[in-house]
């Protein structure tokens, strides 16, 4: 199995290490010459993903920002084998899938949208690891009328990464759900840590503070692009949480303990329902 990876940061680097763990040939490309050289030196990749290596790749993963992913795909498209599969690993799906599906139709290969649901608050090749995706979900957005043979081939090609599950959905549904499960969490965490008390919290914080602030440590350029790509869905989620926070604020402002108890109970019950549904699915 020969794998090509564009972008050798946390996600791309971890993909490369997972495939190397599985005995695959891995070729990579990174815009940073220093990162490219480091990946070659540490044998994260066997060689450079270029016009010579692309034609023999079974799978190419695009592990960069959405706009950069589309630009790179357009560049390598003429060299891809017709049986090759290309999967993007971007955090939003509507824009990149629209671009990727169109390029794939034009050049005759297969493109899938993809989103590996794992990561850390850190970025870069230095933080990548071969087991990052072990047991993690992978979300797939297939092209229209995709054959079962192509779906089976994709599952085979993703096998060495170690995903725990593959979920199939539409680009629209992915972006709607991810605005809540990922993007809103980053916005809330980032806003929360701006409190002046964040600078003097030492000795007064435990697990709840760490849990809520972990993803405040983010790559602002990447997340800003993802937020803007999904701004309609994220706007709705931000509006929703502002409305909820105002209910708590109003109860505190007038000293309405019963209303505060009611709001807290609603949140606890909502969490219990979510946890029960998750346990039932497992």
**Range from 75-89, 176-190, 207-221, 261-275 carrying the lowest mean pLDDT:** 207-221
Which of 169, 192, 209 is the endpoint of a domain? Answer: 169
**156 shares its domain with 25:** yes
pLDDT digits (tens, 9 = 90+) for 113-152: 999 998 877 889 999 999 999 999 999 999 999 999 999 9
Phi, psi of 79 (to 5 degrees): -100, -5
Could you tell me which of 158, 125, 110 has the C-alpha nearest to residue 44?
A: 125
Does the CA dihedral 32-60-155-229 come out positive or negative? Answer: positive
Separation between Cα atoms, residue 170 and residue 178, nearest integer Å: 12
Model pLDDT, residue 156: 97
Show which of 169, 191, 216 is a domain's final residue. Answer: 169
Domain count for the chain = 2
**Domain containing 32 — which CATH number?**
3.40.50.720
Q: What is the pLDDT of residue 282?
A: 55
- Average pLDDT of span 48-54: 96
Q: Are residues 201 and 157 in the same domain?
A: no
Q: Are 191 and 163 members of one domain?
A: no
User: Could you list the residue range(s) of the whole structural domain that residue 251 is in?
Assistant: 174-281
Q: Are residues 10 and 135 in the same domain?
A: yes
Strand order in the sheet with 59-62: 47-48, 25-29, 2-6, 59-62, 85-88, 110-116, 137-141, 165-168
CA separation for the pair 163, 155 (Å, rounded):
10
What are the residues whose beta carbons fall under 8 Å from the beta carbon of 140, sequence distance 6 or more? 87, 112, 113, 114, 154, 166, 167, 168, 169
């Amino acid at each position: 199995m020969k794998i090509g990876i564009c972008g050798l940061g946390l996600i791309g680097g971890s993909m490369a290490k997972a495939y190397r763990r599985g005995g695959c040939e891995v070729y990579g490309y990174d815009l940073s010459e220093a990162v490219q050289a480091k990946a070659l030196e540490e044998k994260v990749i066997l060689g450079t993903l270029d016009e010579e290596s692309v034609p023999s790749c079974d799978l190419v993963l695009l592990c960069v920002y959405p706009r950069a992913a589309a630009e790179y795909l357009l560049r390598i498209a003429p060299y891809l084998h017709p049986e090759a599969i290309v999967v993007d690993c971007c955090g939003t799906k509507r824009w990149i899938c629209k671009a990727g599906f169109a390029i794939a139709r034009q050049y005759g290969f297969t493109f899938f949208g993809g989103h590996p649901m794992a990561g850390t608050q850190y970025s870069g090749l230095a933080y990548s690891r071969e087991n990052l995706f072990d047991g993690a979900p992978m979300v797939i957005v297939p092209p229209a009328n995709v054959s079962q043979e192509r779906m089976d081939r994709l599952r085979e090609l993703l096998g060495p990464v170690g995903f725990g599950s593959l979920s199939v959905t539409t680009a629209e549904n992915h972006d709607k759900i991810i605005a809540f499960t990922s993007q809103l969490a980053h916005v809330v965490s980032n806003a929360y840590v701006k409190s002046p008390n964040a600078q003097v919290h030492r000795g007064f914080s435990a697990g709840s503070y760490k849990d809520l602030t972990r993803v405040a440590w983010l790559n602002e350029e990447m997340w800003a692009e993802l937020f803007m790509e999904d701004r309609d869905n994220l706007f709705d989620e931000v509006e929703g949480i502002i409305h909820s926070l105002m209910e708590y604020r109003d109860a505190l402002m007038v000293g309405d303990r019963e209303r505060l108890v009611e709001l807290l109970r609603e949140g606890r019950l909502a969490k219990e329902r979510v946890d029960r549904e998750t346990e039932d699915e497992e």
